[in-house]
Structures are given as structure tokens and as C-alpha cells.
Amino acid sequence: MSLTETSAFEIAAEVRAGRLRAVDVLDAHLANVAARESEIHAFNTVTADEARRSAEAVDAAVAAGRDPGPLAGVPIALKDNMCTRGVPTTCSSKILDGWKPPYDATVVELVANAGAVVVGKTNLDEFAMGSSTENSAFGPTFNPHDVTRVAGGSSGGSAAAVAARFASISLGSDTGGSIRQPAALCGVVGVKPTYGTVSRRGLVAFASSLDQIGPFSHDVRDSALLLEVISGHDPLDSTSIPQPSLQLLSELDRGVKGLRIGRITDLPGGSEPEVDERLSEAFDALAAAGATIVDVELPSMKFGLTAYYLVAPAEASSNLARYDGVRYGMRVEASDTNAMYMATRAAGFGDEVKRRIMLGTYALSAGYYDAYYGKALKVRRLISDDFARAYEKADVLVTPTSPIVAFPVGSKVDDPLSMYLCDVFTIPTNLAGHPAMSVPFGTGAHGLPVGVQVLAPTLGEAVMFRVAAELERGAR
Amino acid sequence: MSETFMIEGYELVCGLEVHVELATATKLFSASANRFGDEPNVHIDPVTLGLPGALPVLNRRAVELAMRIGLALNCTVQPCTFHRKNYFYPDMPKAYQISQYDQPLNIDGWLELPGGKRIGVERAHLEEDTGKSTHIGGSGGRIHGSDHSLIDFNRAGVPLVEIVGRPDITSPDEARQYVTELRQILVAIGASDAKMEEGSMRCDANVSVRKPGDPLGTRCEIKNVNSVRSLGRAIEYEARRQIALIESGEKIRQETRHWDENDGRTHTLRSKEDADDYRYFLEPDLVPLAPEKSWIDEVRASLPMLPRERRQRLSAATGAAADGEAVMVVVERGQDDYVLAVGEAGADVARALVHVKEAYAEQGSEPTVPAADLARLISMETSGALTATQAKTVLAEIVEAGGGDATAIAAAKGFEAMDTSELEAMVDDVIASNADAWAKYCGGEDKAMGALVGAIMKSSKGKADGKAVTALLQAKRGS
């Protein structure tokens, strides 16, 4: 087995044991980058030199008898909306042109301290707004399974970097499906943890009450390993849940016997037939492994998309107001301060970002707040209540991750609403703050990957990973 | 006091909004120092600058000081939340201010003026300060028309409490009293140094006028008032401006006005129509704050005696009026404990109040003379061993030296005590040589006493105590 096909779990074990050198693992991955990055465009920045120094430090530590940590020598890619000290952090936006953060995000510190080797910063839809990574100011990321198609988004670069084996694992951020949907489209595992289990400090905010960082990997075990490393309380994030890091690796082999798996009977329609077929096979696999399939209703799920496109843009309109050309990033000079703000923001933001800033500003405006933002908050509560009722009957819920497989580049860019529909199954999870993950489960149209989504209640990661591991076994 | 203040037949209605910077070591949401007067842009960090990815973490000490303010102002401390107030300004790094909106920390309190009138306090909430802009070029230090602007972010993120008073103030003098009393409370509880000149206490006034019995008039908000004195002037100017408009048949426009210290007028800053839509919404980066009862009780128990109580205590001890000048001044300077200590050391406490007020005119100056030394001096004075004039001279010397034995100083100055027998002999001599005046005095002409006292003082070269002389003369007359 080549070094790029070795799992992160095994790489770390071998490197820690001194049987494998981190620099060799890195070189193998960088060779893949050299071979295919020009057709994939997973990265905004490849940090080869820094990566080499990190890998050498890992090898030196092992040679000196020190343990570099649970991710020793594992090449990792970071979505380019996570602050990295001294390394450009662009959010794939022109407005952050030239900005190098003076600090590392908490997750960046955590993976570095665990011995991981950061190979680069990955492409995304500008400020994580999109479902195809076509809204990047630096051009789209292409799907490694078919480079005429999108990688999904917004964490398309992180998904593609793992799928193309440019990195063993990666981190993305998920506000409405931005980890799970590209994971499904690229045929990798992607996890959106419970809101508050992974620190958001240093994650450039899109919608603060929904954003959550999570892992991408080839298999369920590697996501469990990475999530164990990045979860846990961060006193510098006030929304971080005060509890120790998740323990997941020990759950993976427990099976699903006796678990109740919820099938949502009123799931919004419109999925491709192959996607529905894979879902049905997933239920069969879980039933065959001893789980009970139960029917549940989630009537408010269909309102999720609408509520999301009020709550997320509202927060975004506020979060993105700081890009004013005063202190960092791009500035377009003009006659006075107001003119400078306008010229800078007009030139610095792309169309989708501007669209959402306008949506959000309107939703929060005096006279419209109650009708839009206020009502969206009520729907949000309704969705949480529906989930709570469903979880009285079921331990987890299983749905498709995306209603469709990877679509051709350019096919949806002029139709924002059909693009928004890609997230219909993923968005309710973010509104409720729950965990959910996408697991590859066979293929659909054109032989492209299909992902099945496992949803769990707050802090239900342990049971979620048990079911995901079973689905992974069932898919083989 | 209870008379209604009127200008040309109109009543004044005024509510004050006071911002105070809290005396914390660090900022409201980050670990940078909260310090005034340093080189620009040294107390900064990702949170202060609103860098991408930075998150606020609430300062517990700031919450505690805000609770102290609320409790000192008789407010209810309640579970609360933080909101974002969105607007663009170069010294506002995130383009929103984290403030409290519909659920503030402290609500429904009051402040009692020295005369006893209570001014309602609607709320006292926590928020962060902005940076400080200096506009170079152009006119009037405004951003509009300036060549460029300099921004100092040292102040950005400094914790503020905004104290919103109810419109219960009906005269410029009450407004001054309110701010003076509030300042004393803030300093006493250690919440802020509350210096208007340095901007650690800032006051905006909402002013309207009406004919007695009429509904409330349209109000204008006055900003940029930088001293207690200016506050009274600005309010009175604004009331007169509004009355003149009404009298000439015009309507008051609701607007924000800027007080100009130089021309003594208020000028339009922005009208209500131009007001920003702040698009308040719950700050998603913070969680609700619900101070537990034990914490509130602990803070309440740790509050010191407040100025009003201290004035009442001093008034009770000295017999001077609680809202009289001597008591007000001495408590404001924080010298009341000292006055009471002098009293406890055996001296007449009323006399101590007068001496401390006079001798320590510097505000806040800590009396250095040991209470016992001052007590000895006062005892000599009240026993007649020193005249009031002599006592003053000795006191000045003791204060200058930071203490001293009044007896020794008096002796060194030749202020030796005149004993009663010596004085009596002198009185007898004067009676003998002023038989005429004595006869008149004995005949009931009290004003004849003046001539006798004058003669005695003269022959004693001022060493005789006036009171003792008067008492002796009365005793000898037999009345």
C-alpha cells in the first residue's frame, strides 16, 4: 500500500513507533499535489516549506524518544478560513488580500501540537457561502472523481484535498452542510460535530451561531481520531461546551445491535433515484447488523432552508461588516471614509457574498425584524422541538447527505435557489446545533459517489460514529 | 428645593445618560490592559482590533463592577444578554458594538439627591467602548472634511456601564447634583475614577420643555458635555432655545445636538431621520449571563457605606445639616471618617468638622495629622485655653508639619493659657477703672458690655478668651 493510501491512524502509529518517517509521508502527498493540483485546485496556498520543517521536527522528536502526539506525521489540509499565524488566510475573498493573521486558530494549535503536518490552506466558496466552491475569488475546485464537476462546498478544497490524496485528513467548517455535502460529492467522510464541541476561535466567522469546524477523512476511524484531537473545551470561545474532548475510537467496533435508526417519513423529495436507492440499502445494511428501523416525522424540516437563509445571512451581514478597508486587507482609496468603505466592499466581495449581506441586512432592519429574522428564530426552535420528539423514538436518524451527486461546473451558478437546495438535508442539523456526518455509500448517476448522512442529538457523537462505522462496513 | 424650577412659564424635563469606564485591569472581552494615557495602539490584540476569527470572552470583574453600580443605585440585578449594535465608523473595529439591549444587567433603581429627591434609574448596562479618533485638517475636529484621521484603539473594548436615568430632573441644578452624587458613588464603590475631564465619565442630556400640565414635549439629546458646570449651562441653554422656538410658533425637531463649550450653544449633530438603524440582534459569540444569587449577595455585602449614608452619619454626629456645605464637602473629600475619629479622641466633633473642612481644602487630600493631635488642639480651644484666632494659627502649623503637640506649639508662641484667677483679676481691674460702663451694664444696657470686653482684651494683649470674659462679666453682674 502506498503512503498516500495509508490511513492517518496507521501513519501516526508507524511514525510514533519509528517505523515510518514523517518527511517520507509528506513527500508522497506533495508528489500527488505536484501531479494533480493544477486540474483540481484544492489549495489557495501550499505550505510545502513549513510542512517540511514540521515533518522534520516530528521525526526529530521520535528520534529523541519523545512522542509527537496522536497525529504524528499525518499530512493535514486546512480550510482557508482558519487563521494561521504568518500564513495568508483569505477565505477565498479578495477583501482579505495580503492579510496574514498574527495568531493561530485553536484548532490549528491543537493539530500542530498533536504532531500533524499542515500541507496547505484549501479553497472554499468565498467566506464559506456556497455549495460548490465556485464562489471562490480564485476559481473553483474540481472534483477528483470527475474534474468537469464541482467538489461541492463550501469546504470543497478540503474535501478534494483528501479525495485526491493531497493530504491524509483535512479540516472544514460547516454552517449549513459545508463539510457533509462536499464529503458526499467527493466520496469521503465528513463530520459536523455538535455546536460547541470544537472551538471556533480563529475560524473566520460566516454565521457564528451555526459555524462548526469538523474533519474530513477517507474512513470513519480517521475522522474519529481527528475529532478526538480537536474537540474539548476552549475557554477562549464562550460558546464552547465545558466538557473534555470526545472519546470516539473506542465506539467504532461496538456495532448497532439494539440501536433504533430513524427513517424520516416526510423527508423533502426531489432526490435523484440512485440516491434514494443507496439510502434504502443503507437502512437494509443497518437492519441486517441488528438495528431496528423506526419511522419518525420531522414536519418542520421543510422550513429549514427558509429559516437558514434568514438567520445565516443576518449574522453574516454583521460578521462581514468589519471588512471596511480601515485596518487590514484590501482598501480602495476614495474621496472620504464612506466612499472608501463602499469602493472597498464593492471591489472586495463577490456576488454571492453581497447577495447574502443584503438579505441579512434587510432581515434585521427596523420594521422587518419580526417578519423575517424573528420568525426565522421561531422556526429554528420548532425544528429543535421536532428533532427532540424524533429522538424520543430513535437513537440516530439517517438521510441522504445531498439530494444529487456532483454536478457539472457552471451548471448552477446562475440559479442560486437550486444551489441552495443542495443543503436541504444538512441545514436543519446546524439550526438545531446537533452533530451529523456523511459516510460514502456506493455510487449514483455517472458512477459518482453518494453519501449517507447520520444525524444524532446534541453530544450524540458516540452513537453517531457507531452507526457510521457500521454503514462503512455495509458499504464494502 | 421643592419649588418648581421654571423658565418663562415652562417646566424643564431632563433625563441623563451617563457612560462610565470601569476600573478593571483588562478590557471587557480581551486580556489587553485597560489603561488611559499610554502611547497610542499599545493595548491591542485580535479581539480589540476585530480581527477575523477573534472571539469575545466576558471579563468577570467588569460584570462585578457593573453589579456594584447597579446595587449602589438600588437596581435589580437580573439575568441578561448581549446584543450587537451595528454601525460603521472607523474607530469601531468590528463595525458593531457589543452592548446590552432588551435584557440589561441592572434595572429599576434610583439615585437620591442630597436634598432627598429620588431620580429614577431605568437601567445600567454593560457595553464596550470604541477607539478614539482624531481628525486632522478640516474644521471643528469632525471627520467630515478632514484630511485624514488617526485612530487609537487603546480605548476600544474598555468596559463601560451606561446608566440611563429617568426624566425626573427638573432643573439644571438637579442635573449637576445628580452627576456629582453619581460620581461620588462610583468612586466610593471603586467602580470607576469617573473623571469627566479624562472622559472616564461622559454625560448626555435629554432635554425637553412643557407648560405645566401639558404632555411631554419633543426632546433633544445633547452630547459633548465635558464638565458638571457645562452640564448645567448646556441644559439651560437648550431649554431656552426650545422655549424660544415654541414661543415663535415653531416645532421642536427630535435630534441629537452637540454642546460647544466655546460659544456656549448647542448645534445640530443629526436629526432623528438620519439616525442609524442599528439592527440589534443577540450576540451569537456570547452566552446569556445569569449572575447567581450568592454572587449578587456577595457583591451587595461588599459595598462600602455610600455618600448619602456617610453624610447622615456625620450630620448625626455633628449636628450640622446633612445637605449643608460642611458635611457635603467633607464627605465628598472622604474626610468624614477622620472627623469622627477626632471626635472619638475626645474633641468637640462639630468643631472638628469646621477645622477639617477649612484646613484640608484640597479635594481628596488625606489628613495626615494624627486624630489625637487635632483633638488636643480642639480641646484647648473649647476649654478656653486658646482663643479661636490662636487655635487657627496653631492648627495651620500642625497641618503644615503633619502633626504636633498643640500645647507645646501654643507655649512656644507665647499663647500660654491664662488661668481663671489671672483673668478674674484683670476683669476686676477693668471694672474698677471703667465704673461708668460697668454701671450701665449692671443697669441692663447689654451693649455696654462691648466696651468692657474690649478693654479686657486690650489689657490681656489678646490672650483672653472672649467667651470666658463674657461669662465672667455675666457672673459678676449676677445674671
pLDDT at B1 over 50: no
Least Cα separation, residue B91 to chain A (angstroms): 9
pLDDT interval class at B140 (50, 70, 90): low
Give percent of chain B above pLDDT 70. 96
Lowest-pLDDT range of A418-432, B88-102, B376-390: B376-390
In this structure, the answer to whether residues A216 and A197 fall within a common structural domain is: yes
Give percent of chain A above pLDDT 70. 100
Helix (H, G, I), strand (E, B), or coil: what is residue B150? strand
In this structure, the answer to whether residues A142 and A265 fall within a common structural domain is: no
Inform me whether the C-beta atom of residue A322 falls under 8 Å from chain B C-beta atoms. yes
pLDDT value of position A164: 98
Helix (H, G, I), strand (E, B), or coil: what is residue A367? coil
For residue B1, tell me if it sits in a domain.
Answer: no
Cβ contact A215:A222 at 8 Å: yes
Smallest Cα–Cα separation from A228: which of A462, A469, A463, A17? Answer: A462
Domain boundary among B281, B301, B321: B301
Inform me whether the C-beta atom of residue A336 falls under 8 Å from chain B C-beta atoms. yes
CB contact under 8 A, A208 and B57: no
Q: Look-up: residue for cell 435557489? A: A417
In this structure, the answer to whether residues B353 and B280 fall within a common structural domain is: no
Question: For chain B, how many residues are written?
Answer: 479
pLDDT value of position B320: 94
Identity (one letter) of the amino acid at A413? V
Inform me whether the C-beta atom of residue A328 falls under 8 Å from chain B C-beta atoms. yes
In angstroms, the Cα distances linking B344 to B158, B317, B329 are 43, 10, 21
pLDDT value of position B446: 79
**CATH code of the domain covering residue B428:** 1.10.10
pLDDT at B126 over 50: yes
> pLDDT averaged over chain B?
91
For residue A163, tell me if it sits in a domain.
Answer: yes
Q: Which helix (H) or strand (E) holds B225?
A: strand B220-225
Q: Which residue has the higher pLDDT, B452 or A176?
A: A176
**Could you say which of A136, A170, A173, A178 is catalytic?**
A178
For residue B237, tell me if it sits in a domain.
Answer: yes
Q: Is-catalytic flag, A154?
A: yes
Lowest-pLDDT range of A42-51, B135-144, B298-307: B135-144
pLDDT value of position B198: 87
pLDDT tens-digit series, residues B344-370: 998 999 999 999 998 887 655 678 899
Inform me whether the C-beta atom of residue B229 falls under 8 Å from chain A C-beta atoms. no
For residue B293, tell me if it sits in a domain.
Answer: yes
pLDDT tens-digit series, residues B222-240: 998 999 999 999 999 999 9
Distance CA(A388)–CA(B116), nearest Å, equals 56
pLDDT at B417 over 60: no
Cβ contact B55:A237 at 8 Å: yes
Inform me whether the C-beta atom of residue B149 falls under 8 Å from chain A C-beta atoms. yes
Domain boundary among B383, B412, B441: B412
pLDDT at B394 over 50: yes
In this structure, the answer to whether residues A199 and A290 fall within a common structural domain is: no
**CATH code of the domain covering residue A451:** 3.90.1300.10
Full domain range(s) for residue B362:
307-412
**Could you say which of A132, A154, A155, A402 is catalytic?**
A154
CB contact under 8 A, A337 and B90: yes
Cβ contact B131:B33 at 8 Å: no
Q: Which residues in chain A are contacts of B286 at CB distance < 8 A? A: 238-239
In this structure, the answer to whether residues B289 and B406 fall within a common structural domain is: no
Q: What is the DSSP letter of B147?
A: S
Residues 6+ apart with CB under 8 A from A159: A151, A152, A170, A172, A179, A182, A183, A185, A186, A188, A190, A216
Measured between CB atoms, which of A105, A208, A361 is closest to B284?
Answer: A208
In this structure, the answer to whether residues B132 and B190 fall within a common structural domain is: yes
Domain boundary among A250, A272, A296: A250
Helix (H, G, I), strand (E, B), or coil: what is residue A213? strand
Strands A292-296 and A260-264: parallel
Q: Which residues in chain A are contacts of B47 at CB distance < 8 A? A: none
Helix (H, G, I), strand (E, B), or coil: what is residue A463? helix
Of all residues in chain B, the one with the smallest CA distance to A127 is: B52
pLDDT at B466 over 80: no
pLDDT tens-digit series, residues B440-462: 888 888 788 888 888 888 877 77
Inform me whether the C-beta atom of residue A300 falls under 8 Å from chain B C-beta atoms. no
Distance CA(A394)–CA(B265), nearest Å, equals 71
For residue B263, tell me if it sits in a domain.
Answer: yes
Helix (H, G, I), strand (E, B), or coil: what is residue B65? helix
Lowest-pLDDT range of A336-340, A381-385, B63-67: A336-340
For residue A366, tell me if it sits in a domain.
Answer: no
Least Cα separation, residue B98 to chain A (angstroms): 11
Cβ contact B114:B328 at 8 Å: yes
In this structure, the answer to whether residues A83 and A209 fall within a common structural domain is: yes
Domain boundary among A222, A250, A278: A250
pLDDT value of position A1: 67
pLDDT tens-digit series, residues B245-295: 999 999 999 999 999 989 999 999 888 777 789 999 999 999 999 999 999
pLDDT at A140 over 50: yes
In this structure, the answer to whether residues B274 and B314 fall within a common structural domain is: no
Inform me whether the C-beta atom of residue B284 falls under 8 Å from chain A C-beta atoms. yes
pLDDT at A242 over 50: yes
CB contact under 8 A, B287 and A239: yes
What domain count does chain B have? 3
For residue A317, tell me if it sits in a domain.
Answer: no
In this structure, the answer to whether residues A106 and A124 fall within a common structural domain is: yes
Q: Which residues in chain B are contacts of A108 at CB distance < 8 A? A: none
In this structure, the answer to whether residues B316 and B355 fall within a common structural domain is: yes
In this structure, the answer to whether residues A176 and A284 fall within a common structural domain is: no
In this structure, the answer to whether residues B215 and B194 fall within a common structural domain is: yes
Domain boundary among B244, B272, B301: B301
Q: Which residues in chain B are contacts of A203 at CB distance < 8 A? A: 53
pLDDT value of position B2: 47
For residue A101, tell me if it sits in a domain.
Answer: yes
Of the residues B55, B133, B144, B272, the best mutation for testing chain A's interface (the one with the most A CB atoms within 10 Å of its CB) is: B55
CB contact under 8 A, A235 and B57: yes
In this structure, the answer to whether residues A219 and A285 fall within a common structural domain is: no
Max CA-CA distance within chain A? 70
Interface of B with A in 430-469 (CB under 8 A): none
Give the ranges where B136-226 is alpha helix by DSSP (H).
Answer: 172-188
Distance CA(A378)–CA(A306), nearest Å, equals 12
For residue A113, tell me if it sits in a domain.
Answer: yes
For residue A334, tell me if it sits in a domain.
Answer: no
pLDDT interval class at B433 (50, 70, 90): confident
Least Cα separation, residue A185 to chain B (angstroms): 28
What torsion do the CA atoms of B195, B196, B201, B207 make, to the nearest 10 degrees?
150
In this structure, the answer to whether residues B318 and B294 fall within a common structural domain is: no
Question: For chain A, how many residues are written?
Answer: 476
Least Cα separation, residue A363 to chain B (angstroms): 9
For residue B105, tell me if it sits in a domain.
Answer: yes
Q: Is-catalytic flag, A170?
A: no
Full domain range(s) for residue A104:
3-250
Distance CA(A92)–CA(A45), nearest Å, equals 11
**How many CA within 13 A on the CB side of residue B390?**
29
What torsion do the CA atoms of A16, A21, A26, A27 make, to the nearest 10 degrees?
-170
Segment A163-170 shows an average pLDDT of: 98
Distance CA(A388)–CA(A383), nearest Å, equals 9
For residue B278, tell me if it sits in a domain.
Answer: yes
In this structure, the answer to whether residues B282 and B360 fall within a common structural domain is: no
Grid cell locating A57: 521536527
In this structure, the answer to whether residues B38 and B90 fall within a common structural domain is: yes
In this structure, the answer to whether residues A144 and A271 fall within a common structural domain is: no
CB contact under 8 A, B51 and A236: no
pLDDT interval class at B420 (50, 70, 90): low
Inform me whether the C-beta atom of residue B93 falls under 8 Å from chain A C-beta atoms. yes
In this structure, the answer to whether residues B278 and B131 fall within a common structural domain is: yes
pLDDT interval class at B434 (50, 70, 90): confident
Distance CA(B243)–CA(B247), nearest Å, equals 6
Distance CA(B364)–CA(B346), nearest Å, equals 25
CB contact under 8 A, A324 and B84: no
In this structure, the answer to whether residues A43 and A150 fall within a common structural domain is: yes
Of all residues in chain A, the one with the smallest CA distance to B92 is: A322
Distance CA(A171)–CA(A83), nearest Å, equals 12
What domain count does chain A have? 2
Grid cell locating B294: 450568592
pLDDT tens-digit series, residues B158-209: 999 999 999 999 999 999 999 999 999 999 999 999 999 889 999 999 999 9
pLDDT value of position B139: 66
In this structure, the answer to whether residues A230 and A132 fall within a common structural domain is: yes
Cβ contact B15:B165 at 8 Å: yes
In this structure, the answer to whether residues A141 and A14 fall within a common structural domain is: yes
Measured between CB atoms, which of B53, B56, B281 is closest to A105?
Answer: B53
Q: Is-catalytic flag, A79?
A: yes
Q: Torsion-angle region of residue A133: left (phi > 0), alpha (psi -120 to 50) or beta?
A: left
> pLDDT averaged over chain A?
97
In this structure, the answer to whether residues A191 and A292 fall within a common structural domain is: no
For residue A325, tell me if it sits in a domain.
Answer: no
CA angle (B193 as vertex; B192, B197 as ends), nearest 5? 125
Q: Which residues in chain B are contacts of A324 at CB distance < 8 A? A: 88, 90, 95
Q: Which residues in chain A are contacts of B83 at CB distance < 8 A? A: none
In this structure, the answer to whether residues B293 and B342 fall within a common structural domain is: no
In this structure, the answer to whether residues B291 and B238 fall within a common structural domain is: yes
Segment A315-326 shows an average pLDDT of: 97
Grid cell locating A316: 453574516
For residue A310, tell me if it sits in a domain.
Answer: no
Measured between CB atoms, which of B279, B286, B287 is closest to A364?
Answer: B279
pLDDT interval class at B418 (50, 70, 90): low
Residues 6+ apart with CB under 8 A from A447: none
Inform me whether the C-beta atom of residue B213 falls under 8 Å from chain A C-beta atoms. no
Inform me whether the C-beta atom of residue A99 falls under 8 Å from chain B C-beta atoms. yes
